[in-house]
Amino acid sequence: MVGLFWLDEGENSFGSANTNKIIFPENAPKKIGTIIKTDSILKFICEPEIIVKSDGVQVKDLELNIDLSGNPTILENGSFRWFIIKRGDKYGIRLRDLDAPLLSEFKSIERFFVNENWKINAKFVPYEKPKEIEVPTILGTVEKELSPGKIEFNFENKNYSLEPVAAGKNLFVIFADLTSGEETYGAGRFLYVAAPDSNNNLILDFNKAYNPPCAFTKYATCPLPPEGNKLRIKITAGEKNYGEGH
């Protein structure tokens, strides 16, 4: 990702020229087009001499689906790809460049050595009804998410718990621990957990913990750990920090 640009109501021209409302990187065309925002309706209008495609088909004007629709409209010009995201009540252009230096310069992510001790038998304790929890974001906003229950586990004779959110049939955990900001990314890590069995037993494998997108780019809009998911333990498993982080 090389850009995140929030849209104003009305016309939002974009391209590399500084006369645009939204300024793309200098290797983009001077003016690509305009996105017109009318409340929640977003329409793209292309400049006459510019070629922009969606699903391989050239487009001149098009109403845009956002990311939360599950089928966002992805527009492309040269090495650039962009689509509309919605966060809270804000809409923005998320821009990618397939020729971005980060892609060619990317190095492998260091990990802790796999340790079976961090593959923990845990218990899922469902709530009577899903509980609304506050999930802060890197943007400084707070999202409301539903947690179906708690994951409770014991490590070295101490009890801990996490509040996941549903991810299809599985569970998704955003957590921080005492390695956060030291060996691991300061804003926490992500972990998918397979659904509990019929007795509500599950496996919590911290060896699979991984960095959120905001560990690699300042243009991501990552969720951060809820207050209850900040563990007072050093989880020396999973991915370590990448570079200096963001």
238: in domain: no
Burial class (CB in 10 A: 0-12, 13-18, 19+), 61: exposed
239: in domain: no
111: in domain: no
245: in domain: no
Same domain, 97 and 137: no
Same domain, 99 and 154: no
Same domain, 60 and 18: yes
Domain that residue 56 falls in: 3-104
Same domain, 133 and 49: no
- Per-10-residue mean pLDDT, the chain, length 246: 93 98 96 97 97 96 93 96 92 92 73 97 97 92 94 97 93 97 95 96 97 84 94 97 62
Q: Residue 116 in 3-state DSSP?
A: helix
224 within 8 A of 187, measured Cβ to Cβ? yes
Number of domains in the chain: 2
Same domain, 88 and 178: no
- Buried/exposed 140-152: b ≥16 CB within 10 Å, e otherwise: eeebebebbbbbe
Specify the pLDDT at position 100.
Answer: 77
Same domain, 123 and 221: yes
Task: Spell out the residues 6+ positions from residue 209 whose beta carbon is closer than 8 angstroms to its own.
Answer: 175, 189, 190, 191, 235, 237, 238, 239
What CATH number did the domain enclosing 70 receive?
2.60.200.20
Specify the pLDDT at position 106.
Answer: 66
184: in domain: yes
Same domain, 26 and 81: yes
91: in domain: yes
146: in domain: yes
DSSP category for residue 68: G
Same domain, 84 and 183: no
The whole-model pTM stands at 0.71
Domain boundary among the residues 104, 133, 162 is at 104
Specify the pLDDT at position 243.
Answer: 64
Nearest CA-CA partner of 238 in 165, 163, 184: 184
DSSP assignment of 168-200 equals TTEEEEEEB-TTBTTTB-TT-EEEEEPPP-TTS
Give CA angle at 38 (36, 41), nearest 5°.
90
Same domain, 96 and 14: yes
Same domain, 222 and 136: yes
* Token pair 């690509």: residue: 32
Same domain, 62 and 120: no
Same domain, 68 and 147: no
